[in-house]
């Protein structure tokens, strides 16, 4: 072998047993079908994500996109809508050639989701693509519709024999919410799994596609220094916050039947909790990772009716000041009934009853119209056992706290005690920071970019499994039921504030909510 002067010879990397066999599979030629192709999700998230994948050359060489929706329109009209959505919502300014190339692959099928004829037309489009390609194409059906259509579409796909292909893989991607209760989630799983095999089903929780959520696993399992401390002996409490400054905007129709607990805690926030609490998986294969998450969820005791007032708080935003302007309260938002008891804020105190975590409170809170948008996980360590400093010196000593900020300003910060320069031993907290933006100097992809390619690739690691989604509902369902039985009005918090005073009652002695 010729060796180029000055360059080190490459020594072959020893095979890592943890990653062996887990290489990223290439994305096979695929037709992606979006049901709900003219809806908000398709326009704001899916189409821009698909464009960005095209921009990065991350789509398969042969890729076709079919939009299915009720509105009657031609392929050309739908292409114009796609173009507008991409120009408006893509994270990068589109490259004209890439955009043109992508739009050429787009087709549109008109039809209501329960109309057999729409599926016949869709089947024909899919067959035509294959004829042109001269090879079988994988099919990925993305259900980006109102949730009531999920079982209808799945059953129609089954009936029209589009759910199976003799020579290619067929997958179905299902948006959230996956049911609005444990019973509904079970029923939906039953209906979906009557048509598709679990290995074909990709349930979306877009938080799992966020770079920073994936980084939590890297952070925990690629660094030796945290794991020995990562348990009840050293950790005092965990606080997970998903605060938003926006109100419900025009989403009253959806939100008033959903509320903060179902909208964010049942899915996104319980996933974050799992990432903090799970055991190291044997490897990062989908089943191994999801097995560990399910174990965490099953270790959380199901809240009983008697316990709920002590471990769950809900509230609604009242008028206030946000983003530099006066904003209405939830009950004054357009489309919200004036006696609505839907919570726009929810906070819980949960415990993970296992060897690693028994006794450590996990505080979760989320809300609309809070002081700012921030998603973070704060892990507070126990105080040091003895302070040898003088009275003055000890005053500024605080327990170490590790804060993982998922958005915005993604990063990790570690609170340490340090001596203030000077002749006396006086301590104060300082932060050691890692910021994604400055360390990597690159823009993180949108969660949907990662999720769409993973689903087309058949990698389910970042998707919620049937038992996982049911285990999440198992925790939230009793709270939803108890709240539905307790009459309003709900406690209020001012828009733009830190949330309701009632949230304090969840905290154990000496604990505080972090400032939002």
Q: How far is the CB of 263 from ligand BG6 (least distance, A)?
A: 5
Cα–Cα distance, 204 to 267 (Å, whole number): 10
Q: How far is the CB of 445 from ligand BG6 (least distance, A)?
A: 13
Q: Longest C-alpha distance within the chain, in Å?
A: 84
Q: How far is the CB of 44 from ligand BG6 (least distance, A)?
A: 11
* Residues in contact with ligand BG6, shown as a per-residue x/- string from 367 to 386 under the rule CB under 6 A: --------x-----------
Cα–Cα distance, 460 to 473 (Å, whole number): 20
Q: How far is the CB of 407 from ligand BG6 (least distance, A)?
A: 6
Cα–Cα distance, 44 to 206 (Å, whole number): 14
Start-to-end C-alpha separation, the chain = 60
User: 427-435 and 411-419 as β-strands: parallel, antiparallel, unpaired?
Assistant: antiparallel
Q: How far is the CB of 216 from ligand BG6 (least distance, A)?
A: 15
Give the burial string for 171-198 (b: 16+ CB within 10 Å, else e): bbbbbbbbbbbbeebeebbebbeebbee
Length of the chain measured in residues? 516
- Which is closer to ligand BG6, CB of 163 or CB of 213? 213
Are the C-beta atoms of 293 and 468 separated by less than 8 Å?
yes
What is the number of the residue whose Cβ is closest to ligand BG6?
Answer: 263
DSSP secondary structure string, 83-94?
HHHHHHH-SSPP
Q: How far is the CB of 206 from ligand BG6 (least distance, A)?
A: 6
Q: Does 169 bind ligand BG6 (CB under 6 A)?
A: no
- Which is closer to ligand BG6, CB of 244 or CB of 459? 244
- Which is closer to ligand BG6, CB of 244 or CB of 410? 244
- Which is closer to ligand BG6, CB of 249 or CB of 309? 249
3-state DSSP call for residue 69? Answer: strand
Token pair belonging to 383 = 């105080």
In DSSP terms, 110 is beta-bridged to 69
Instruction: Count the site residues for ligand BG6 by CB under 6 A.
Output: 3
Residue with tokens 């890692």: 434
Are the C-beta atoms of 371 and 499 separated by less than 8 Å?
no
* Residues in contact with ligand BG6, shown as a per-residue x/- string from 387 to 406 under the rule CB under 6 A: --------------------
- Which is closer to ligand BG6, CB of 251 or CB of 356? 251
- Which is closer to ligand BG6, CB of 189 or CB of 271? 271
Q: Does 263 bind ligand BG6 (CB under 6 A)?
A: yes
3-state DSSP call for residue 317? Answer: strand
- Which is closer to ligand BG6, CB of 43 or CB of 107? 43
Q: How far is the CB of 475 from ligand BG6 (least distance, A)?
A: 18
Are the C-beta atoms of 193 and 187 separated by less than 8 Å?
no
* Closest C-alpha to 223, from 488, 58, 412, 407: 412
Q: Catalytic pick from 167, 268, 386, 512?
A: 268
Q: Does 244 bind ligand BG6 (CB under 6 A)?
A: yes
- Which is closer to ligand BG6, CB of 375 or CB of 466? 375
Q: How far is the CB of 55 from ligand BG6 (least distance, A)?
A: 21
Verify whether residue 55 is a known catalytic residue: no
Please report, to the nearest 10 degrees, the dihedral formed by the alpha carbons of residues 96, 99, 104, 109 taken in order.
-140
Q: How far is the CB of 215 from ligand BG6 (least distance, A)?
A: 15
Q: Does 477 bind ligand BG6 (CB under 6 A)?
A: no
Output phi, psi for 380, to 5 deg: -105, 130
Cα–Cα distance, 502 to 482 (Å, whole number): 17
Cα–Cα distance, 267 to 270 (Å, whole number): 6
Give the burial string for 267-282 (b: 16+ CB within 10 Å, else e): bbbbbbbbbbbbeebe
- Which is closer to ligand BG6, CB of 266 or CB of 453? 266
Q: Does 470 bind ligand BG6 (CB under 6 A)?
A: no
Return the number of other C-beta atoms located less than 10 Å from residue 154's C-beta.
Answer: 23
Q: Which of the residues 299 through 358 are near ligand BG6 (CB under 6 A)?
A: none
| Binding interface with ligand BG6 (CB under 6 A) | 244, 263, 375
Q: Which residues are catalytic?
A: 268
């Amino acid at each position: 072998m010729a060796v180029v002067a000055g360059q080190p010879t490459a020594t072959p990397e020893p095979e890592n047993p943890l990653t062996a066999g887990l290489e990223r599979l290439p994305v096979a030629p695929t037709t992606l079908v979006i049901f709900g192709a003219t809806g908000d999700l398709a326009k704001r998230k899916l189409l821009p994500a698909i464009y960005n994948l095209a921009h990065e050359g991350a789509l398969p060489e042969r890729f076709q996109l079919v939009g299915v929706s009720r509105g009657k329109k031609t392929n050309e009209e739908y292409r114009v809508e796609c173009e507008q959505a991409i120009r408006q919502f893509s994270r990068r300014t589109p490259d004209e050639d890439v955009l043109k190339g992508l739009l050429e692959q787009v087709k549109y099928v008109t039809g209501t989701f329960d109309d057999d004829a729409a599926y016949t037309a869709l089947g024909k489009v899919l067959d035509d693509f294959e004829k042109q390609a001269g090879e079988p194409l994988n099919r990925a059906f993305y259900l980006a519709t109102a949730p009531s259509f999920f079982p209808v579409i799945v059953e129609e796909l089954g009936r029209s024999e589009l759910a199976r292909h003799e020579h290619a893989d067929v997958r179905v991607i299902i948006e959230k919410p996956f049911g609005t209760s444990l019973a509904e989630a079970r029923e939906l799983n039953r209906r979906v799994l009557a048509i598709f095999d679990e290995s074909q089903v990709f349930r979306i929780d877009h938080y799992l596609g966020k770079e920073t959520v994936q980084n939590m696993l890297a952070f925990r399992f690629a660094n030796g220094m945290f794991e020995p401390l990562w348990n009840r002996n050293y950790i005092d409490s965990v606080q997970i916050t998903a605060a938003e400054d926006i109100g419900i905007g025009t989403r009253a129709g959806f939100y008033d039947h959903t509320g903060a607990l179902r909208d964010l805690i049942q899915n996104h926030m319980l996933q974050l909790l799992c990432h903090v609490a799970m055991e190291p998986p044997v490897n990062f294969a989908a089943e191994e990772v999801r097995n560990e998450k399910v174990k965490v969820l099953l270790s959380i005791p199901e809240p009983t009716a008697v316990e709920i007032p002590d471990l769950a708080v809900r509230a609604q935003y009242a008028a206030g000041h946000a983003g530099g302007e006066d904003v209405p309260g939830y009950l004054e938002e357009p489309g919200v009934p004036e006696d609505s008891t839907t919570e726009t804020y929810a906070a819980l105190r949960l415990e993970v009853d296992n060897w690693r975590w028994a006794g450590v409170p996990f505080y979760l809170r989320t809300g609309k119209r809070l002081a700012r948008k921030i998603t973070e996980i704060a892990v507070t360590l126990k105080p040091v056992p003895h302070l040898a400093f003088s009275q003055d010196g000890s005053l500024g000593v605080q327990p170490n706290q590790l804060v993982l900020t998922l958005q915005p300003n993604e990063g990790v910060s570690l609170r340490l005690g340090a001596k203030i320069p000077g002749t006396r031993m006086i301590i104060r907290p300082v932060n050691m920071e890692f910021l994604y933006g400055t360390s990597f100097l690159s823009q993180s992809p949108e969660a949907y970019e990662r999720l769409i390619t993973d689903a087309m690739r058949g990698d389910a690691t970042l998707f919620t499994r049937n038992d996982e989604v049911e285990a999440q509902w198992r925790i939230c369902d009793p709270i939803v039921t108890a709240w539905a039985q307790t009459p309003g009005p709900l406690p209020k918090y001012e828009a733009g504030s830190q949330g309701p005073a009632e949230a304090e009652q969840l905290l154990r002695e000496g604990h505080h909510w972090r400032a939002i």
